[in-house]
């Protein structure tokens, strides 16, 4: 089951990042090994405070979410 979250990338460490959504709630993501993004692409997102849409699945036995894709949202959709 895949879910979607939108928000701003606020912390990046290796392949893990924190996404803060519009309610100010932060979520810990791990970039999946087959994700449509490379860990090296995360740091620039954090630096730009860009809005992104993350599709993810819950992780088993981890308090974290497994990101399947991270997509930059076009500026028009940004608030």
Binding site for another protein (CB under 8 A): 3, 10-18, 20, 24-28, 30-33, 38-40, 58-66
Coil, strand, or helix at residue 3?
Answer: strand
To which residue do tokens 């954090």 refer? 46
Nearer to another protein, 50 or 76 (CB): 50
CB of 14 to another protein, least distance (A): 5
Please give the helix or strand (H or E) that residue 42 lies within, else none: helix 42-48
For residue 5, the minimal CB distance to another protein (Å) is 8
CB of 32 to another protein, least distance (A): 6
Q: Which is closer to another protein, CB of 42 or CB of 74?
A: 42
Q: How far is CA 74 from CA 30, 42, 48, 53, 71, in A?
A: 23, 17, 13, 10, 9
């Amino acid at each position: 089951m895949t879910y979607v979250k939108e928000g701003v990338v606020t912390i990046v460490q290796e392949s893990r990042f924190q996404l803060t959504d519009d309610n100010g709630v932060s979520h810990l993501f791990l970039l999946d090994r087959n994700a449509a993004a490379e860990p090296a692409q995360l740091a620039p997102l954090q630096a730009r405070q860009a809005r992104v849409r993350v599709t993810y699945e819950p992780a088993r036995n981890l308090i974290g979410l497994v990101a399947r894709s991270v997509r930059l949202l076009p500026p028009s959709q940004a608030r």
